[in-house]
Amino acid sequence: MKTIQAYRYALDLTPGQERDVYAHAGAARVAHNWALARVKAVMDQRTAERSYGIADDQLTASMSWTLPALRKAWNAVKADVAPWWGEVSKEAFSTGLDALARGLKNWADSRTGKRAGRPVGFPRFKSRRRTTPSVRFTTGAIRIEPDRMHIVLPRLGRLKLHESARKLARRVEADTARIMSATVRRGGGRWHVAFTVEVERAECVPARPASVVGVDVGIKHLAVLSTGEVVDNPRHLVAAQARLRSLGRALARKTGPDRRAGRRPSKRWDRAAARLGRAHTRVANLRRDGLHKLTTRLAGTHATVVVEDLNVIGMLANRRLARHIADAGFAELRRQLAYKAGWNGGRLLMADRWYPSSKTCSGCGAVKTKLALHEREYTCDACGLVIDRDRNASLNLAALAAEYDTAGSGPVAARGADQKTRARGQVAVKREPGTTTVGQTGTVPPQGRTTDHALTRAH
């Protein structure tokens, strides 16, 4: 099975190498800003001509937004716009032009309805001080040295890694991986290189091929499994809050930048901002490490993992819980499960976001109309079952896998999303491009086992 994955390593650059990388990132920014200015000029000119009543066939010729067209236009003027163009790799300019081409395409597709999700704004000019330095190499000499502690990139030469790249090197030497590109980027106070690699992965089977687990995520506990296991929420951001506040107050006492007055930040402000950035990076790294360990264990152990399709953006509107919800990383947990399940030969099923997993009794199937958030124990009025709220939800999610297998993989008609939980009637089936949905409809007795459900299988 071929798949695309990334290998990311920290770099230990010398001052001279760091200047060279900054020069490449600056070249990418220059090419991006030049092309964006030209595109805006053509668009503004055509808009002005239309306001004068000029016919469409007589307007200024439009400019193509594709990467080949932008690269051709840049090559025609680079000697005048950037006389120093020969000092950096051509991949630096291609990085900026490619970013603009993708940004313009996403903006156009969003306006015409071809792109789903939130509206995409028009690309902006990249600032030297506010833009994250980054450059991407797709051609030329990109390799790992035999000592596996150094890499070679075009024009930048031999760069030292902070850690060994033996895992990627072994795959490349065994001809089971092919490096497609390398991206050098600065973040969290240091430089990293990320290799995009096409990997030939061996077919895997989960440790428990017939196991089904429901995963209910939350704030009090990061995850409650239908097996009875409870994964505590480490709350890394809360643990680091005291230090972050101290560093934030220290930063506020320094002389910072002022765009209106044209004032540049002091050196002490730069050092304080770097310390604050490193503290936030540490929190992000701890969160990412915990999620990777959890999702790797779940995907490698269970053949079927069932999670909820939570409306995380809507949940963040809650002022009291927004910080804790963002700190838990619900969306990242589901994203990692989606591709790791495929790597390990399993599958990920996503319950519709309006499926009442917490309000449904895992014993008899009765559905409560209301269940307050502070009620941490579920008490069934029909059968008298008393169970932890999160454990009850995880059991209901696990039960959906059997209903999914019984119903089959074909879509079943339903009336659409409904935010209200009803004891009778139909439950929503969410339809998304690239997913297979299945659902059942029908009338449910007040105390009977509900058959209303909706599942989405992630490919």
Report pLDDT digits (tens) over 202-259: 888 999 998 999 999 999 999 999 999 999 999 999 999 999 999 999 999 999 999 8
Q: Convert the pLDDT of each residue in 391-406 to its tens digit.
A: 999 999 999 888 887 7
Task: Write down the pLDDT at residue 405.
Answer: 75
Q: Computed from CA positions of residues 70, 197, 194, 281, in that sequence, does the dihedral angle turn out positive or negative?
A: positive
Residue 345 has pLDDT above 50, yes or no: yes
From the list 98, 352, 390, 452, the catalytic residue is 390
Cβ atoms 439, 454 nearer than 8 A = yes
Which residues, including other chains, have CB under 8 Å from residue 343's CB and lie 6 or more apart?
3, 201, 204, 299
Cβ atoms 298, 347 nearer than 8 A = no
Q: Taking residues 336-362, report their average pLDDT.
A: 91
Strands 157-161 and 150-153: what pairing? Answer: antiparallel
Task: Write down the pLDDT at residue 407.
Answer: 63
The pLDDT > 70 percentage for the chain reads 88
Task: Write down the pLDDT at residue 408.
Answer: 59
From the list 216, 327, 352, 452, the catalytic residue is 216
Q: State yes or no: is 289 an active-site residue.
A: no
Residue 413 has pLDDT above 80, yes or no: no
Is the pTM higher than 0.85? The answer reads: no
Q: Taking residues 133-146, report their average pLDDT.
A: 94
> How confident is the prediction for the chain on average, in pLDDT?
86
Could you tell me the two tokens for 105? 């395409």
Weakest mean pLDDT among 32-46, 111-125, 430-444 = 430-444
Q: State yes or no: is 56 an active-site residue.
A: no
One-letter amino acid for residue 135 of the chain? V
Cβ atoms 426, 399 nearer than 8 A = no
Helix axes 15-51, 67-81, angle to 10 degrees: 110
Q: State yes or no: is 145 an active-site residue.
A: no
The pLDDT > 90 percentage for the chain reads 68
Which residues, including other chains, have CB under 8 Å from residue 279's CB and lie 6 or more apart?
240, 243, 244, 247
From the list 91, 308, 309, 452, the catalytic residue is 308
Which residues, including other chains, have CB under 8 Å from residue 118's CB and lie 6 or more apart?
none
Cβ atoms 27, 96 nearer than 8 A = yes
Cβ atoms 139, 155 nearer than 8 A = no
Which residues, including other chains, have CB under 8 Å from residue 144's CB and lie 6 or more apart?
150, 151, 152, 165, 168, 169, 172
Q: Convert the pLDDT of each residue in 96-117 to its tens digit.
A: 999 999 999 999 999 999 998 8
